[in-house]
Chain A
Amino acid sequence: MNEQHKSIYYPPGGILIWFLIILEIFTFLGGIMVFLNYRTEELSLFQEAQQQLNPLIGTINTIVLIISGYFIANSIHFIKNNENKKAARSILISLLLGVTFLIIKSAEYYAKMEQGIGLSDNTFFTFYWMMTGFHFIHVLFGIGLLSYMYIGINKNTYHSENYFDVESSATYWHLCDLIWILIFPIFYLI
């Protein structure tokens, strides 16, 4: 399989998931660029609005998602090595961390809604809700995928001879990491 990855048509996880990744990250890049353009025009408003976000919560969520990505990356090595129990356990940890991310993010959303900060509050929060909300949906979908993989490994549907779906799902999960890595500093830090 590793030698196969050297072909342009077989990147790790498969070419279709890579098309999706390229499409998604460039879409988010476009969103970030438009956000930064508006930020230049309304700098004081954006800086004021940013004060209403808690960078510590964002940082904790980044750590949660990165550790989750680490476990899903390890699960691929375990499944390739026919260590299905370890692979399933790694996916489960990854899954639980993904759920933790969503719980923290939901709490943050709830706090914002309690303060009356909505989608149309100002330009900063329009972007904030749209982009983090879009990412939230990606994570939610990823959790569904990982749950399916976890069940599949436990049923022995996926093993060292058949792990392509698991690898594709892991690649999708890393996409969630990558998107968050890009949007987190833009909204919370700079």
Chain B
Amino acid sequence: MLKEIKINTIILTILLVLIIAIYLLAENKANSSFTIITSLTAVKFIAISFQFMETKKANFFWKILVSLFVIAFLIGVFVLS
């Protein structure tokens, strides 16, 4: 149990760092910021889904479905922007 809370805390720390990094990147308006922001958004989505929502404990089907959604999101955003 404690181990899971420890992992949650590590994931939370990573997520907070990513959120702040994304904000700073967007503020700087660098050329590569769009790609990085979109990719980091996908990473955050995966982290929340697999760790906080415990998709990592679910059947393979649900893991694949979440992963496919993230891929669809990335393709959609990159194609339409």
* Chain A residues in the interface with B (C-beta under 8 A): 2, 5-8, 10-13, 18, 22, 25-26, 29, 32-33, 36-37, 39-40, 55-56, 59, 62-63, 66-67, 69-70, 72-74, 76-78, 80-81, 171, 174, 177-178, 181-182, 185-186, 188-190
Contact = CB atoms under 8 A, between A and B. Distances in A.
Interface of B: 1, 4-5, 8-9, 11-12, 15-16, 19-20, 22-23, 26-27, 33-34, 37-38, 41, 44-45, 48-49, 51-55, 57-59, 61-62, 65, 69, 72-73, 76-77, 80-81
Contacts of A80: 1
Contact of B12 (A66, A76, A188): A66
Contacts of A39: 80-81
A70 B72 CA distance: 26
Interface of A is mostly: helix
A181 B41 CA distance: 7
A190 B12 CA distance: 23
Given A73-B51, A77-B4, 4 more contacts: A11-B58, A69-B48, A181-B44, A189-B37
Contact of B76 (A2, A36, A72, A177): A36
Contact of A5 (B12, B26, B51, B58): B58
B79 to A, nearest CB: 9
3 A-B pairs with the lowest CB-CB distances in the bound complex, closest first? A36-B80, A189-B26, A12-B54
Given A12-B55, A73-B51, A40 B23 contact: no
Interface of B is mostly: helix
Nearest to A40: B80
Contacts of A5: 54, 57-59
B46 to A, nearest CB: 10
B12 A185 contact: no
Nearest to A76: B54
Nearest to B61: A8
Contacts of A26: 69
B45 A12 contact: no
Given A8-B61, A12-B57, A69 B81 contact: no
B54 to A, nearest CB: 4
19 contacts: A5-B54, A11-B58, A11-B59, A12-B53, A40-B81, A55-B26, A59-B20, A66-B12, A70-B8, A70-B9, A73-B51, A74-B8, A77-B1, A81-B1, A174-B53, A182-B73, A189-B37, A190-B34, A190-B38
